[in-house]
Amino acid sequence: MPYGQVVTGPPGSGKTTYCHGLSQYLTLLSRSCHLINFDPGCDPTTFMSETVDVTFDIRKIVDLNNVMGKGWGPNGGLQWCFEYIAHNAEEVMKRVKESVIKKEREKIERIENISKEGKKELERFSDEEIFQACYLIVDFPGQVELYTHSESSSTILSHLTKPIQKGGHIGLNVVNVNLVDSTSIFDAGRFISTCLTTLMSCIRLSLPVVNVLTKVDLLRNQEAVFDIEFFASCDNLNPLLQYLEHGSVEESGEYADDEDFQKARQKVKDSIFYKRHKELTEGIVEVIEDYGLVNFKLLCVSDAALMGRVVAECDKVNGYVYTREEYATDDNKVNAMFKAAVKSDGFNGRQKELEDVRERYIMKNKVVENEEEDPNPKR
Ligand SMILES: Nc1nc2c(ncn2[C@@H]2O[C@H](COP(=O)(O)OP(=O)(O)OP(=O)(O)O)[C@@H](O)[C@H]2O)c(=O)[nH]1
Ligand SMILES: [Mg+2]
């Protein structure tokens, strides 16, 4: 069975950038990667002024721009497109498979520095054998309603993962990589709601999942109320509640001595709405913690070490590590499994990941800021 990732997450969280970066990273590891665009509203072929090699583009079947011309807006149109794809899922899967095999055959055709016998040997592989060795990266759209309010994405995913023995065409061993913008940690309410939508999408899609906080390089622009470990682990979100409504931050900030401001704050806090809102948020936090499904890996797409950790985690979660040779070279497979597990989320691996992010993206900036503040640095 082929392996792959389905990349989801809110709009603008960095899905297409991640797919592109991941494909470059995995190509360096000699995996036969294929970008599959399942976003009917996104042109993936031109990305950041680069031409991207996309193996399958869903817009050849259904294009949001054409649907919008028929009286739908962007959101309703996307929902319509997804329902159309779900309805024709079998045909879509067949076409995905054909495109991947065609691209692989073209690659074999283009190989140079190989003897005629060698080439013939490669050409002798069946379509099915070629397809089994591929790694698919599937880019999904960002509209959260597609995952939380509609069955279409679950239907599409069930066709993508349906084993060939049971009549499926692709039988993908998949991990759902759910990306979330890390700048949400600067706002308590936004982070809690991010965790809630992450949880909802985990439950609705029912796939093995790796949640990722992206764009950690942007964390240097502001200071969060807690250390990055707090947000990455999501073990106990209760301390965030005090920062809802910006209450405590401003009370101790520049308005701390302003009597009128403090009176107004107290009035808000005594209101029934505030109390109920707080209770509701406490309830939401409890639900998130009870499920215990939400925690995050950290990623800046241009950081190869962080990308490697996300890949190692995904390999463990979608089962790549159990079967593929690059993990089972001289050691046996159990060792390979163990190596990947330790590398991705063992205690030391996790601590190293957090340290790297603090050092490279959070602390580094503080040092620069301090240097700017100090007109006579001692060094
Ligand atoms: N600083 C920084 N910017 C990033 C990173 N990853 C993505 N971006 C930027 O985030 C913006 C959105 O990225 P996309 O990849 O288009 O996001 P998306 O999730 O595919 O967006 P939609 O498809 O519209 O939902 C782009 O301007 C990217 O350059 C990152 O690791 N660091
Ligand atoms: Mg995109």
CATH number for the domain that contains residue 39: 3.40.50.300
Domain identity same for 344 and 263: no
Q: Which range among 3-12, 22-31, 63-72, 332-341 shows the weakest confidence by mean pLDDT?
A: 332-341
Question: Which of residues 246, 272, 291 is at a domain's end?
Answer: 291
Does any domain span residue 313?
Answer: yes
In a domain, 182, yes or no: no
Within-domain flag for 6:
yes
CA 237 to ligand 2 center in whole angstroms: 29
Tell me the one-letter amino acid at 162. Answer: K
Residue 197 falls inside a structural domain: yes
What is the distance in A from the centroid of ligand 2 to the CA of 154?
19
Domain boundary among 276, 291, 306: 291
Give distance in angstroms: CA of 58 to centre of ligand 2.
13
Q: Give the tokens for residue 151.
A: 């069955």
| C-beta of 353 in contact with ligand 1 (< 6 A) | no
| 48, 291, 316, 322, 333 from 174: Cα distances, Å | 27, 22, 11, 13, 20
Distance, in Å, from the CA atom of 337 to the CA atom of 205, rounded to the nearest integer, reads: 26
In-domain check, residue 211: yes
Let me know whether 312 and 279 are in one domain: no
For atom 21 of ligand 1, the residue with the nearest CA is 12
Question: Rounded to whole angstroms, what are the CA distances from 198 to 39, 177, 209, 358, 365?
Answer: 19, 11, 10, 24, 29
Q: Which atom of ligand 1 is nearest to the CA of 19?
A: 15
* Identity at 236, one-letter amino acid code: N
CA-based max dimension of the chain: 86
Q: Same structural domain for residues 62 and 119?
A: yes
Q: How far apart are CA 38 and CA 160, in angstroms?
A: 12
pLDDT tens string 277-308? 889 999 999 999 999 889 999 999 999 989 99
Residue 56's Cα: distance from chain center in Å? 20
Dihedral through CA 209, CA 103, CA 61, CA 67, nearest 10?
A: 70
Count Cα neighbours of 318 within 13 Å in the Cβ-side half-sphere. 26
Q: Which residues of 74-90 are buried (b: 16+ CB within 10 A; e: fewer)?
A: eeebbbbbbbbbbebbe
- Please tell me whether residues 248 and 225 are part of one structural domain: no
Q: Is there an atom of ligand 1 within 6 Å of 77 CB? A: no
Ligand 1 pocket, residue 217 CB under 6 Å: yes
- Binding site membership of 8 for ligand 1 (Cβ less than 6 Å): no
Nearest atom in ligand 1 to 39's CA:
23
- Distance between CA atoms of residues 85 and 62, nearest Å: 8
Q: Residue 15: nearest ligand to its CA?
A: 1
- Please list the helix, strand and coil fractions of the chain in percent, rounded to the nearest 5, in that order: 60, 10, 30
Q: Is 41 in the pocket of ligand 1 (CB under 6 A)?
A: no
Among 299, 290, 312, 314, smallest CA distance to 360 is for 299
Is the beta carbon of 45 within 6 A of some atom in ligand 1?
A: no
Structural domain contains residue 60: yes
CA distance 55 to 35: 6
Residues constituting the chain = 379
Q: Which domain covers residue 244, as residue numbers?
A: 236-291
Instruction: Please choose from 17, 19, 298 the residue to mutate so as to test ligand 1's pocket, defined by most ligand atoms within 8 A of CB.
Output: 17
Q: In terms of domains, do 229 and 250 share one?
A: no
Determine if ligand 1 sits within 6 Å of the CB of residue 17: yes
Ion ligand 2 nearby residues (CB, 5 A) = 15-16, 42
> Is 180 inside a domain boundary?
no
User: Mean pLDDT, to the nearest integer, of 357-366?
Assistant: 75
* Domains in the chain, number: 3
Query: Residue 48 CA: which ligand is closest?
Result: 1
Residue 294: CB partners within 8 Å, gap ≥ 6? 195, 198, 199, 202, 211, 234, 288
Residue 310 Ramachandran class (φ > 0 left, ψ -120 to 50 alpha, else beta): alpha
pLDDT classification of 172: cutoffs 50, 70, 90: very high
Q: Residue 13: which of 184, 156, 220 has the closest Cα?
A: 184
Which ligand 1 atom sits nearest the alpha carbon of residue 41? 23
- 160 is written with which tokens? 């993508």
Same domain for 196 and 158: no
* 196, 344: one domain: yes
The single-letter code of the amino acid at 371 is E
* Whether residue 97 has its Cβ less than 6 Å from ligand 1: no
Q: Are residues 313 and 285 in the same domain?
A: no
Q: Are 215 and 276 part of one and the same domain? A: no
pLDDT at residue number 377 = 42
The pTM of the full predicted model, rounded to 2 decimals, is 0.86
Task: Tell me if 297 CB under 6 Å of ligand 1.
Answer: no
Residue 137 domain-assigned (yes or no): yes
- Is residue 72 located within the same domain as residue 197? no
Q: Verify that 147 and 48 share a domain, yes or no.
A: yes
Given a contact cutoff of 8 angstroms between Cβ atoms, the answer to whether 169 and 93 are in contact is: yes
* Beta carbons within 8 Å of 340's beta carbon, 6+ residues apart: 312, 315, 316, 321, 327
Ligand 1 neighbour 215 (Cβ under 6 A): yes
Examine the pLDDT at 38 and tell me if it is beyond 70: yes
Q: Note the pLDDT of residue 220.
A: 82
* More reliable by pLDDT, 364 or 153: 153
Residues 204 and 303 in one domain: yes
pLDDT, one tens digit per residue, over 250-260 is 455 666 677 88
Of 291, 307, 338, which one is at a domain's C-terminal end? 291
